[in-house]
Amino acid sequence: MAFFSNLCVIMNLRPSNLIICENDTMTDVNAPQHAAHSLALQQLYSHYQAVKINDINDLKFSHGSVEENARLSAAGLTIDLSRAFINQEILDELILFAETMGLSDQIQALIGGAEVNNTEQRAAHHTALRCPPAKQHRAEVTATQHKIKGISDRLRSGQWRGHGGSVITDIINIGIGGSDLGPRMITHALSHFADGPNVHFVANVDPRDLETTLQVLAPSTTLIIISSKSFSTTETLENALSARKWLLTEMNQDDLSNHIIAVSSNNEKAIEFGVNAENVLPMWDWVGGRYSLWSAIGLPIAIATGYQNYNDLLAGAHAMDEHFANNSLTNNIPVLLGLLEIWYINYCSANSIAVLPYSHELRLLPDYLQQLVMESNGKQVSKDGEPVKHRTCATIWGSAGTIGQHSFHQLLHQGTESIPVDFILPLKSHSHEKHKQAHLVANCLAQSKALTEGKSISIAEQELLNAGVSNEEAQRLAKHKASPGNRANTIIAMDQLNAKNLGALVAMYEHKVFVQSIMWNINAFDQWGVELGKQLSTPILNTLQNDNSKATADTDKTTAFWCEQFINQNS
């Protein structure tokens, strides 16, 4: 395991959920329980007991040059784990853990299109969407990509005309969840390359989302993309109906064919809605919603930035797929990051993970990752339907640097909970103001350094004394100014943000999520939990729209009270 041969970076994280039985066996309520690898789990717990009291500042250089051996590069990304809470022995046990779970075979199953989604009996073959033509075995993917290119080229060149021969200047993508978050995040991230029609995104059923978007647009120069795999998602259909009504204020029903495109697996419903059959792009059941930006759901990306950038996005993701599929577990970026987070969550009591992109263009990345991570691994039963006895997912949150430094970074540095951080760092900006980019990079590196090294009470006291503060006041204030340090963080860097690097970054996080699901023995590709709220909302909506007092009386008291308040306010 050459990558970590000299790495010994230990951090002081104290668990709240690790329990020792009288016979000294490990019964960690968060660590995955599988008989086949109980020894690996015991070893991991023993390692935690051995390292939890150590200080990173004492051990950082104890085994040579940590920095050079803690970096791994692939697909345009460089991952720096020199400030991770890990050492070689722990890594060895984590790799053994992964081997007992058959992770290598599971990776091949995912990439090969096997039925890894066992609750819905289908593949999760989104990696096929980014295979280059020479390796593409799904003809429907190639055909759809040609259609994406044709549509985007016509819109960008002005050949696609709207009502009265108008050039289309604005696109509204109406979707929600994976049909919104992915293309929205990518389009914002690649805004430097945007030279086509203006692309807007509407997801919220709150009427103000669509209304404020339409206020500055004209129907004759606007094209609507309805992105809905089932073409039955309530929020999307409600917004689509309102958008169609808006279009019809300026044109006839027959003119809609040049103003509406649909991306859906339900052609019949899309055509029934009024979409021309030629303007319906397909979706497939082997592509999950949160993995769908690589499909025709990514059409807004191609329209905004050009098909070449869209193709580069796919190429970057494919490069990460190749790295993930063809490298050993010990030199595999998604594997190492996934295992590291398993260690943080199940052994070091990490309840949340912060993702901090030091790039304004990547400001929506934490929002995108919230769905990818928490909808995938927020599960409480195993693949076999048995209750899990361990935590399966941390809360993902964050915002763009340097904005967060003036709000929640206080918690990261001095809070009572230790929160691992991913710093996302493009080294070069697309802006010509290099001095401001230097400020940005300096802040990112400083935050990483401060989280790890902290500031001792003695140093804080000496700084106060040097500033002319009295001895008594210095002793009083030093405890407030000190930071504990020893807080884990990872730097994920790239030379410059572009479509290829971005594709690799997103694919890296996708594969990291899959690695964790295998380790926890859960299905990362279903999302039954989100259906409950949808199911319950239907009768409530009927009550609100029909002023049905009987239906109100039949529900629980809290819901009935607020239904009555709504009816009173809107009568």
DSSP line for 140-209: HHHHHHHHHHHHHHHHHHT-SB-GGGPBP-EEEEE--GGGTHHHHHHHHHTGGG--SSEEEEE--SSHHH
Residue 314 corresponds to which tokens in the numbers above?
């796919």
Determine which helix (DSSP H) or strand (DSSP E) holds 528, and give its type and residue range. Answer: none
Residues in CB range of 303: below 8 A, 6 or more apart: 151, 152, 155, 156, 171, 196, 197, 199
Active site amino acids: 375, 406, 534
The phi and psi torsions of 381 (rounded to 5 degrees) equal -130, 155
Q: How far apart are the C-alpha atoms of 3 and 131, rounded to whole Å?
A: 28
3-state secondary structure of 505: helix
Q: Alpha helix (H) ranges present in 234-295?
A: 234-247, 267-273
Residue 185 corresponds to which tokens in the numbers above?
């995040």
Residue pair 224/243 in contact (Cβ under 8 Å)? The answer is: yes
The phi and psi torsions of 175 (rounded to 5 degrees) equal -165, -175
Of residues 227, 220, 202, 217, the one with CA closest to residue 279: 227
Residue 425 has what DSSP assignment? E
3-state secondary structure of 68: helix
